């Protein structure tokens, strides 16, 4: 169970930090690099959240499924914020 908890903490941390990644990864570059950084941040966000369910099944987490459902909702909101921040930063760098 400890490995699943560590992975869940990683997903929670990345979900909270993902909207700032386009700005961090493309600070001194143009708008295209910002959009690439946004795509990478969204791809990692989706991959981490998709792999959360098999990790829960492998760990026999039981009520951890409730955590997975909550994290998917928070991940969807984080993805929208990441898109908005990435678009605004790319627009301001044109």
pLDDT, mean of residues 40-64: 85
Task: Give per-residue burial for 2-26: e unless 16+ CB within 10 Å, then b.
Answer: eebeebbeebbebbeebbebbbebb
pLDDT tens-place string over residues 32-43:
888 888 899 999
Q: How many domains does the chain have?
A: 1
Task: Give the pTM.
Answer: 0.82
Domain span at residue 81 reads 2-92
pLDDT on residue 5: 83
Flag whether pLDDT at 1 surpasses 70.
no
Flag whether pLDDT at 44 surpasses 80.
yes
Of all residues in the chain, what percent carry a pLDDT higher than 90? 22
- Return the residue matching tokens 């459902």: 69
pLDDT on residue 89: 84
């Amino acid at each position: 169970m400890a490995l699943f908890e560590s992975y869940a903490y990683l997903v929670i941390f990345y979900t909270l930090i993902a909207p700032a990644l386009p700005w961090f990864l493309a600070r001194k570059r143009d708008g295209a690099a910002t959009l690439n950084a946004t795509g990478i941040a969204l791809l990692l966000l989706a991959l981490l959240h998709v792999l959360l369910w098999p990790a829960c099944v492998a760990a026999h987490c039981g009520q951890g499924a409730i955590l997975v459902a909550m994290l998917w909702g928070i991940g969807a909101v984080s993805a929208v914020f990441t898109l908005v921040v990435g678009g605004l930063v790319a627009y301001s760098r044109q």
